[in-house]
Amino acid sequence: MSLRHAMLGLLAERPSSGYDLMKRFETSLTNVWPATQSQVYGELGKLAKAGLLEVVAEGPRGRKEYAITPEGRAELRHWLAETRPDRSRRSEMLLRVFFLDLLTPLEAVAYLSTEAERAASLRADLEQVKEQVQWDDGPLSVNGRLALEYGLRLSAMQEEWARWAAEQIGGTQAAEAGKS
Amino acid sequence: MSLRHAMLGLLAERPSSGYDLMKRFETSLTNVWPATQSQVYGELGKLAKAGLLEVVAEGPRGRKEYAITPEGRAELRHWLAETRPDRSRRSEMLLRVFFLDLLTPLEAVAYLSTEAERAASLRADLEQVKEQVQWDDGPLSVNGRLALEYGLRLSAMQEEWARWAAEQIGGTQAAEAGKS
DNA sequence: GAGGCCATGTAACATGTTACATGATTGT
DNA sequence: ACAATCATGTAACATGTTACATGGCCTC
């Protein structure tokens, strides 16, 4: 049930409408915890009914601004401090690696090279972000930098791994060819 | 719809019953594509009805052995060669990092240290696997080695990052303390 | 004959995605 | 007046988890 906590976390920083919240998901959490519009509106209703959020203002176009309640903060803190992260790791990219022998070596190398390029391009994007964002030394900025650095290191590792893996297959192929 | 392809991939190697398939998921794919028993049996039925699998033998206790059909192989190959992996990465671990400022620096450091230790312990387990498994140079073994190497590099990166991140917070804290 | 493993399946629920539906407000 | 954006919500469907239910076979 992490969607709920992601929302509580964002609203702990400042109150927002569902629409605002969606935009905040898209900008800061897309790569960490994506959410769809229907999910957000649905969960806002449930959280309000449960007393973890409350409507603090109503604006034009039926806009409802939600703020976290003390109960909501308690729940958020409980989640952060007293529960362990669920690490369910599902990686379609890696699943495909298990079946790479069903492709020709050429196709397999192409797959891995594409992965390497994708990682490299993500890394370049993140470097850009690192340059452009003003790191204003607020507490929020610290968290963001930690997460960004994770992304940087992950994409670097992925690129290196994919290039190495492509070479393993390319090398095997070359050796096989050499035998005959 | 990757569960279906994971199953086709395993059955492309050799026919299995639902029960066998479950065990194969648990041993080779737990870290990449976990599946529950109900999912596997449900999907076996659907795949058979769709003609991608067929029952090739029936044994004691109602055991049904499934084998991949040519249509199944075609679907598997199509998936591997002509579709791009969906990379939706959801990381509860990283989500928590975004809200780390809601904890005391001590608690935040504890969280990151736990992460570092978890990564280190996973890495040690994988090193063990690397030692113990006989890499028999079959094509299946090549794929497995690539995936294992990914796990090794990922856990190493995670440990380093978590230690670095803990130091960032610990360091900030020390600096703040120094000011007063 | 008893315990452990083999073996399959269903039901209820939680979570997540896509598509549809509706309409107000603002800026040009 | 028109387009873009703001704004909320529902419905249908896909996927995944947990719990329940049932019973056969094999070894000691």
Is A87 a domain residue? Answer: no
* A106 lies in the same domain as A39: no
* A46 lies in the same domain as A106: no
Looking at B54, B82, B110, the residue that finishes a domain is B82
In a mutagenesis test of the A interface, which of B80, B159, B164 is the best target, namely the one with the most A β-carbons within 10 Å? B80
Please give the pLDDT value at position B141: 81
* B73 lies in the same domain as B128: no
List chain B residues with CB under 8 Å of A142: 100-101, 168-169, 172
Residues 84-113 of A with CB under 7 A from strand D: 88, 90
Is the pLDDT assigned to residue A170 strictly greater than 90? no
A141 vs B31, residue with greater confidence: B31
Is A126 a domain residue? Answer: yes
Is A29 a domain residue? Answer: yes
Residues 59-78 of B with CB under 7 A from strand D: 60-62
**Residue B158 CB closer than 7 angstroms to strand C?**
no
Flag the least confident range among A5-9, A19-23, A134-138. Answer: A134-138
* A172 lies in the same domain as A130: yes
* B119 lies in the same domain as B166: yes
* B62 lies in the same domain as B122: no
Please give the pLDDT value at position A145: 94
Is B130 a domain residue? Answer: yes
In a mutagenesis test of the A interface, which of B30, B99, B137 is the best target, namely the one with the most A β-carbons within 10 Å? B99
Is B46 a domain residue? Answer: yes
3-state secondary structure chain A: CHHHHHHHHHHHHCCEEHHHHHHHHHHHHCCCCCCCHHHHHHHHHHHHHCCCEEEEEECHHHCEEEEECHHHHHHHHHHHHHCCCCCCCCCHHHHHHHCHHHCCHHHHHHHHHHHHHHHHHHHHHHHHHHHHCCCCCCHHHHHHHHHHHHHHHHHHHHHHHHHHHHHHHHHHHHHHHHHC
Query: What's the pLDDT tens digit per position in B127-157?
Result: 999 988 877 766 668 899 999 999 999 999 9
* B60 lies in the same domain as B112: no
Chain C nucleotides with an atom closer than 7 Å to a protein C-beta = 6-12, 14-19, 23-26
Query: What's the pLDDT tens digit per position in B40-65?
Result: 999 999 999 999 999 999 999 999 99
Chain A contact for B140 (CB, 8 A cutoff): yes
Domain count, chain A: 2
* A116 lies in the same domain as A170: yes
- For residue B55, the domain's CATH number is 1.10.10.10
Contact B150 A34 (CB under 8 A): no
A111 vs A178, residue with greater confidence: A111
* A47 lies in the same domain as A21: yes
- Which domain range does residue B129 map to? 92-179
Q: Which chain A residues in 60-119 lie under 8 Å from chain B, judged by CB atoms?
A: 76-77, 80-81, 85-103, 107, 111
Is B87 a domain residue? Answer: no
* B55 lies in the same domain as B102: no
Q: How confident is the model at residue B30 (pLDDT cuts 50, 70, 90)?
A: very high
Please give the pLDDT value at position B173: 61
Is A10 a domain residue? Answer: yes
Mean pLDDT for chain A overall: 92
* A58 lies in the same domain as A99: no
Looking at A82, A113, A136, the residue that finishes a domain is A82
* B65 lies in the same domain as B122: no
